[in-house]
Structures are given as structure tokens and as C-alpha cells.
Structure 1
Amino acid sequence: MRTILVVGGGYAGFYTAWKLEKKLRRDEARVVVVDPRPYMTYQPFLPEVVAGSVEARHAAVSMRRHLTKTRIIAGTVVKVDHAHKTATIRPAEGPEYAFPYDIIAVTAGAVTRKLDIPGVTEHAIGMKHVEEAVAIRDRLLTNFDRAATLPPGPQRRRLLTVTFVGGGFSGVEGFGELLSLATALARRYPELDPAELSFHLVEARGRILPEVTDKPGEWVVRSLEKRGAHIHLNAVLQSADGGHVVLSTGEEFDSDLIVWTVGNAASPLVRNHTDLPIDGRGMLMVRADLRVGDASSFVPDAWGAGDDAAVPDLALAGAKPGAATVPNAQHAVRQGKLLARNIVASLRGREPKQYLHHSLGVVATLGLGRGIFQYKGIVIKGFPAWVMHRGYHVLAVPSWERKVRVLLVWVTAALFGRDIVSLASVQHPRRAFVTGGEVPAASEEPAAHEVQAVSAGASREHAPSA
């Protein structure tokens, strides 16, 4: 049997393996997926994980539960030598080893794009993985508890100040959901004045949400500002050293929670550790039929899809020659499904089909009961758009098991409200056992930002192929 190696278990990788299982005949080929995480993260749910509207585990789809015919290797592909059809795998435990394959599907995804700004690595948390979304939520809840014990002043203001850097979909959705949670929390803390909450969204461009047109984007800004948010457009973060935020506009303030959502960067595996062709951005060069190569030729037995691949956008070919599909869930899911069909077609001597997908529009949540939807010239705002957002994503999340679990959480929240318990203490699971119940003085405890920034940084360092 031939071995099909799927590098990365994100959207594109998970759907490629899932559909291959259904389409391959018995003994036609074996499928192997390599990913450091045992689950596929449904990233559109991360803003709601941040707000506590979706359980963290429900935004993660178990690969072993759903890929029952696939061999799953917990590890990272650190090198691809396609000339010899060998991948070097670094497993979760043990030494690296060479893994031979016959066909490779590179769906390594992208990683969080970091810039060399003082204090960002030490203090910021990304929002690309479930653990980061949980850390953001727990930090906010913990900060409310800490602030409630302090008198009004600089330290309390710092704890109640939140800064998001990046005004794309991920940043705006996470910002809106966390603002919604904080506003609801303030009513449960009579010791605090809601006016002490300070939420800042920093964007280097002159607008947010580049996926929508100008007027809807302006409406989102006005909507957030009416809720008390501070939107800093044409502003660049210059420093976050010690949690002290300095913007290029001259504004400065202290912020205990800094969330970094400035976009994606090419996977280090694709950019630096493969002999497959890449473009100037470090993205895998992929044809419209998802074979690796360019319009004139392709690399046999090499395929690519998802955020690490520059897939030609045939829907824009007339208006923007050379345009590639944007890195979002809509494209990754559909590319993964087509990739599986095309691999099977090539195994059976048929020609693969080209990827062509017309956008279904864009929809974003801006907090509980608030959203925006745009399809061409049609714009829907507020509660109807929020319902459309939830409806679309509960249909899009893979497997009925996950759909039902998410729906039950939403129903429970509608009846009883959000769960506002912080589980930040799981960062120190042995503390009570070691101390015998003694509570350490505040000066002896590691700062929350130190624990969670390290955790978030570790998750990024171990994600070069997923």
C-alpha cells in the first residue's frame, strides 16, 4: 500500500484525512497524520471560548475519535526531503526519526506573526490555540477578583485595562467578546466602578476588519466605542515592556492583559525546512488543483492546502491576476475536502479538479447579541447577524457530537447566564498539596502574566507544522 503523509492536523489536514478515510478503498492506501496536538482547533469558536460562551474542549475536535482508520503521530514534522520522499519527525517523546512516504499533503498551517517589539514576547498572549483563549479568559476573571480587593488607583486601573493588538477578524471578535464578558462581570462586583474598565484595540491601518467594506467597518468602530472601548487607528505598538503600553501616537497606559492578534506568518517548516518550492512570502507554491508547483509544471506526489499554501484564487482571476486565496476557515475546509478527492483521483488515474470557491460572505461576532454580516452589498448588523454567526458555525463545526455539545452549552448559558469561574489555579496544580493549604504571600507568587505568557509562548514554539 502507498503511504499518504498529511503534515498538520488543522482545518485542511483534518478534513483531508477525514475525507480520505471515506473515499479510499480497503488496502488502497494508508493515511498518516502528524501533529503535536491530538485535536483540530475550530478557531472561529475561540472568541466565544474567551468569553465563556463555548467550553474550551468543545472548540477542539479529537482526531482519534473521528479519524478511526488513520495513524496519528503525536509530534512535529521538522524537515521534508521530497526528493527522497522522506520526512523527519520529532515525536512528543524520543529522538527524531526519518519517515518514508509515497504521497505528501502539506497542510502545516500558519503560526502567529510576532514582531520585535519590547515586552511582547514576555507579556502578550496570542489567540490561535485553545489554551491561549482559556488563559485570556482566566486572566480577566482573576484580575477582577484582585482588583476588587484594592483601593482605587494605578494598580487597580492596570488590572482592569485590556489591550488587543491587531484589528483583523480574530482581534475584533476576541475584543468584542471579552468586552461583553467584562461589562457583564462589572455588575457582579459592587466594589468596582464600571467606568474603571479600559479596553483598547490597536490597529496600524486606518480601519479594522479589512474583509468588510469601509462603511460596515466604520459602523463596527462606532459600535465598540459606544460600549466604552478605545479604538486606536493608524497606531503602532512601540513597546509593552513591563506591561506599559506605548503607542506611536504618543499615548501611554499600563495594561495587565495584552492580546496579540496581528496576523499569521508562514510555517517555519515550509519556509525553511523543505525542498518543495515556496514563494517570496515563504508560502508553499500550489496550483489551482492543489498540486505543488506552478502553472507550467507540478511536483509529482506533492500536494498542499490551507494557510501555508498560496492557492490561486480563481474567483478573482479576472479582477486580480495572481491573487491567492485568503487564509481563513472557509477556504481551508473546502480545500481539505477537495484535496482528498484529488489525491484519490490521482491514485486511480484521473485528473484532479481545480479549486474554485465563491465567498459566502463574512460574519463576525462582536459580543453577546451583537454581530455583523456582509455579502457583497448586503449588510446585516446587530442581533440578526449574531444569530447568523452562531448558526453558521454550529453547522460548520465538524461532527454531530460537537454540534450538539455546543448547542447544549448555549442553551444552558441562555437559561443560567455565563459561567464566571476562573481556573487560573490549574497553572499550579500541586500548590495546595505542597503547601498543605498555606496560601503564599502575593510577593511569593509568580505573576499571572509570567505564567500565562510562558504557556502561550510554548504553544507557539511547538507549532511549526500545525
Structure 2
Amino acid sequence: MPKILIVGGGYAGFYTAWKLEKHLRKGEAEVTIVDPLSYMTYQPFLPEVAAGEIEARHVIVGLRRHLKKTRVVTAKVTGIDHANRVATITPEIGDSWEEPYDQIVVTAGAVSRTFPIPGIADNAIGLKTIEEAVAIRDRILTNFERASNLPAGPERDRLLTVVVVGGGFAGIEVFAEVRALASSLLKDYPQLRFEDTHFHLIEAMGRIMPEVSLKTSEWVLKDLAKRGAYVHLDTQVTGAVDGNVELSTGEVLPTDLIIWTAGVMANPTVVRGSDLPVEERGRIRTRADLRVGTPEEIVEGAWAAGDVSAVPDLTGGGVGGYCVPNAQHAVRQAKLLAKNLVAVLRDELPNEYVHKNLGAVAGLGLYNGVFQSGKLALKGFIAWVAHRGYHGLAMPSWERKFRVVGDWWQNFWLTRDNVSLQTVQNPRYVFEEFAARPRPAAPEAPAVAPEKSSPAKKAPAGKLPATAKSAG
């Protein structure tokens, strides 16, 4: 039985395995998916998780729950030797092993792309994982609690300042969502005013959201300004040491939360550890039919899709001639990849991937959004409805759809639950504080040597000892 190995359980990996289970006949192939996490994260919902509008667990899809015919391995793929058709799998605990395969599908996704700016690696947080979204939400809620006990001054301003780096869709969405979260918190903190909260977005280019028209992006800027948010265009971060974000303009922003959304790059662990061809931007070189290789040469038995791959955009709309790294392409590539892989196993010809971008939609906080498709642009409430409608339908499985829509419905009537669970990162703090501990053993007393008795002195002749005098 041919062995199919899928590297990565994100959009492309999960959907490839999901569709292979549908298309493969019983006993036609054995499918294994390997990822360090046991779930897929629906990343378009991360800004809403950060704003407390969706429960964190509801935007992840458990691999074992939804992939009933696929072997799931929770580990990292640290090496691919395609010449010998083996991959090195490294679990968190235990020894590495070599996994043989006949067909490999590389869908390892992307990670946050950063630059060697002092302090960023130590102080900033990305927005690629569910854990990061939850941490952002809890940090904002906790900082409001702390700031409410402080008098007006530099420390309170620092706690109530949020800096987002990157003006793409992810940056704008999380920026607008957490701004809306902060505004909703003020009613519960009479000690704090709207003017005490400070939100700054830093963008190196002269505009935000290149996925939409310039006119639409300018509307978003004006909308953010109305809500007390500051956008710094043509500005770069030069340092982020000790909670002070230094800008290329010379301005310094003291803050306790730096959110980095300034681009992504293909997963370097998988790309660098493989012998598959790589293009200049560090992505696996992929043909339009999603097989690894070039139009002239095919790497037999190797496939790629999603953010880790450089797939030609046959519609001519891609950046540099390739499909842009987003969920819209990853999901559709995975569905076609599963069909093409099955076709090759059956000695049939695969089809090429052709998909014209349907447009872009973004949520900008409750009841506000923006939508762009060609020259059609929607703004405000109707765009917000389109955002939730599109992503609600795109969420994999009816079980996950019900959970997400249920969160929206409950929050409509009950409002969002604004309680920080930051202490979950140290769940034993109460137990440790009050737990009884053994008393330290008392140190042993040093042994004392017995004193030697000195011989009695004789009284001088003609004199009596003092005791004798007193007795007489």
C-alpha cells in the first residue's frame, strides 16, 4: 500500500488529509499527518479571539477528532531526504526516527518574519497561533486591572498603551479589534478615561492594507482615527528595549504590549532540512499542478501547497507571479492537491491550480468592517456582516461552525466575557504559596572536646590558700 506523508497540519495539511479520506478507496493508500500541534488553527479568527469575541478552543480543529482514517503524529519533521524517500520525525519526548514514504506533501505553513531589531525577539508577540491571541487578550485585561489602581502617570500610561507593528490585514484587524475591546472595558473602570488609552500602529510603507484599493484604505485610516487610534505611516521600529518602542521618526512609545504582524516567511525548520528545490524567497518551488519542481522538471513523489510553497498564479494577479500566502489559496490548493495526488496514484493526469482572488474582507471591531472585491467596496456594518458570513461558512466542519456562531449569538445578548485568565500560564501559583513544606533539618551542633583539668597550684610557703584564709 502506498504511504502518503503530510508534513504540517495547518490549513493546507488538514484539508489535504480531509479530502484524501473522501477520495481514496479503502486500502488504496495509507495517510500519515505530522505536526507539533494536534490541531489546526483557523487564523482569520485570531483577532476576534484576542478581542474576546470568540472562545479560543472554538477556532481550532482537532486533527484526531476530524481525521478518522488518518494516522496523526504529534511531532516535528526535522529532515526530508527525498532522494531516499524518508523523513526524520522528532517528538518532544523520545528518540527521533526515520519515516519512509512513497508520496510526500509539504504543507508546513509559515511563521512570523522578524528583523534583528533590538528587543523585538524578547518583548514582542506575534499573531500566528491561538496561544498568542489568548495571551494578547489576557495581557490587555490584566493591564486594565493594574492601571485602575495607579494614579495618572508614566506607569499607568505604559500599561494602557498598545503598539502593533505591520499594517497588513492581520495587523489592521487585531489593531481595530483590541481598540474596540479597550473601549468596551472603560465602563467597568470609572477610574480610567478614554483619553488614558493609547493605540499605535506602525507601518513602514506609505499606506495600509495593500489588498484593498487606496480609497478603501484611506477610509479605514479615517475610521481608526475617529476611534482614537494612531497610525504611523512611512515609519519603522528601530528598537524595543525595556518596554520602549523607538521609531525611525525619533519618537519613543513606552508600552507593555508589542504585537508583531509585519509579514511571514515559510517554515524554516522544514525548508532548510529538506533536499527539495527552494526559490529565492525560501519557499519550496512548486508547479501549477502542485507537484514540486519547475514547468520543465518534476520532482516525482513530492507535493507542496499553502504558505510554504511558491505556486504560480496563473490568473496573473499574484505578487511576483506567485499565489500570495493566505487562507483563501491554501484551502483551495489543498482540495485540488488531494484530487491530483489520487489521480497520479491511478495513473491519471493532474489538473493545474487556477483561482482568481475573490476579494478581501476584514473585521474592524463589533459592527464594523471593510470588504473589497474588484471595484466593489463595502464599509461599515454590511461589510462586518459579510466578514462574519464568509468566515463562518469557511470554518471547517459543522461542529466548529456551530460553536463559533454560538459564541457570536451569546455575546450579542450577554456581551463579551471580559475576565483575564493570565494566571493560567502559572496555574500552580496559589498552591505553591500555601503548600506546606518540610522544615529544614536543624544543623548538628559541632562536637566539643572535653577540657583537660589543670594541676592545682601550690600556695607559696608561709601563705594559705584563699579558702583557708576565709575559713580561719
CA contact (8 A) 2:77 2:270 kept: no
SS of the equivalent of 2:364 reads strand
* 1:76–1:233 distance in 2 versus 1, CA, 3 Å: same
Given the alignment of the two structures, is residue 362 of structure 1 paired with residue 360 of structure 2, yes or no? Answer: yes
In the TM superposition, residue 269 of structure 1 has moved relative to its aligned partner by 3.1
Gaps of 5+ in 1: 439-466
1:237 touches 1:247 (CA, 8 Å); kept in 2? yes
Distance 1:437 1:232 in 2: 50
Partner of 1:433: 431
Q: CA deviation at 1:320?
A: 7.1
Q: Give me the whole-angstrom Cα distance separating, in 2, the residues matched to 1:172 and 1:142.
A: 23
The number of aligned residues is: 436
Provide the TM-score with structure 1 as the length reference. 0.92
Q: Identity, % of aligned pairs?
A: 56
Who is 1:186 aligned against? 186
Matching of residues 27-426 of structure 1 within 5 Å: 27-316=27-316, 323-426=321-424
Q: Provide Cα deviations, 1:309-360, integer angstroms capped at 9, x if missing partner.
A: 00000111xx779600000000000001000000000000100000001111
Which whole-Å CA distance do the structure 1 matches of 2:57 and 2:31 have between them? 25
Structure 1 counterpart SS, 2:170: helix
Determine the structure 1 residue equivalent to 2:454. none
Could you say which residue in structure 2 is the equivalent of 1:444?
none
Contact 1:270 1:283 survives alignment (8 Å): no
**Structure 2: distance between partners of 1:257 and 1:427:** 17
8 Å contact from structure 2 (residues 38, 64) kept in 1: yes
Larger RCO (alpha carbons 8 Å, 6+ apart): 1
Aligned to 1:387, the other structure's residue is in SS state helix
Provide the secondary structure at the position in 2 that maps to 1:116: coil
Q: After TM superposition, what 4+ stretches of structure 1 lie above 3 angstroms from structure 2? A: 319-322
Kindly indicate whether the alpha-carbon contact (under 8 Å) linking 2:2 and 2:30 is maintained by their aligned counterparts in 1: yes
TM-aligned CA deviation for residue 270 of structure 1 = 4.2
CA offset at residue 92 of structure 1?
A: 2.4
Structure 1 counterpart SS, 2:32: strand
Q: 2:246 touches 2:253 (CA, 8 Å); kept in 1?
A: yes
**Distance (whole Å) between structure 2 residues aligned to residue 383 and residue 306 of structure 1:** 31
The corresponding residue for 1:451 is: none
| CA distance in structure 2 between the aligned counterparts of 1:322 and 1:164, rounded to whole angstroms | 27
> Letter of the aligned partner of 1:372 in structure 2?
V
Post-superposition Cα deviations, 1:149-191, rounded to whole Å, max 9, x if no partner, equal 0000000000000000011111110111000000010121101
- In 2, the alpha carbon distance for the partners of 1:269 and 1:258 equals 25
Alpha carbons 2:164, 2:201 under 8 Å: kept: yes
How far 1:379 moved relative to its partner? 0.4
CA 1:283/1:424 → structure 2, altered by over 3 Å: closer, same or farther?
A: same
Amino acid at match of 2:173: E
- TM-superposed CA distance for 1:96, in Å, is 1.2
- Which one-letter code corresponds to 1:373 in the other structure? F
| Counterpart amino acid of residue 223 in structure 1 | D
* Pairwise CA distance, 1:434: 1.1
Note if contact 1:270-1:278 (Cα within 8 Å) is conserved in structure 2.
no
| Structure 1 counterpart of 2:229, one-letter code | A
Question: SS in structure 1 opposite 2:224?
Answer: helix
Larger Rg: 2
TM-superposed CA distance for 1:86, in Å, is 0.5
Alignment partner of 1:259: what SS? strand
Aligned twin of 2:449: none
C-alpha separation in 1, matches of 2:318 and 2:398: 38
SS of equivalent to 1:314: coil
SS of the equivalent of 1:353 reads coil
Are residues 362 and 191 of structure 1, via their aligned partners in 2, closer, same or farther at CA, if it must alter by over 3 Å? same
Secondary structure at 1:83 match in 2 = coil
Q: Does the CA-based 8 Å contact 2:7-2:108 persist in structure 1?
A: yes
> In structure 2, what is the equivalent of residue 442 of structure 1?
none
